[in-house]
Amino acid sequence: MLLDETAKHVFTDYRKAAAPKAFAVSMSGAYAVVEGATTDDDAAKRAVSRCQEYARTCLLYALGEKIVAGMKEPPLETARARRGRRPGGEQLSLRPGR
């Protein structure tokens, strides 16, 4: 999975963000970042869910400091969150899909 230039810039900022954190992306270009969540599991669910508000299919790209995109299985059972859930209170970077 490749990131466009804007997403690469956001991912650079993501690497400096407070943990627990997660970065989710879609093939259409949508992405979402959650930082300062309560757990890694919570960060993963919220990042994917927030990304899915702008794209049908979003996958976890990074969890904490580890890039997890392309793994055969997500690192957490909940890495793919249900669509339509609204996260509450986290700091987000977000770009709607094209």
Cis peptide before 20 (omega within 30 of 0): yes
Structure-model confidence comparison of residues 42 and 87, the more confident one: 42
Residue-wise pLDDT for 59-78, tens only, equals 999 999 999 986 655 444 44
Tokens 């770009």 map to which residue?
Answer: 95
The span from the CA of 9 to the CA of 48, in Å, is 19
Is the Cβ–Cβ distance between 75 and 63 less than 8 Å? Answer: yes
Check: pTM over 0.85? Answer yes or no.
no
Predicted local confidence at residue 3, as pLDDT: 82
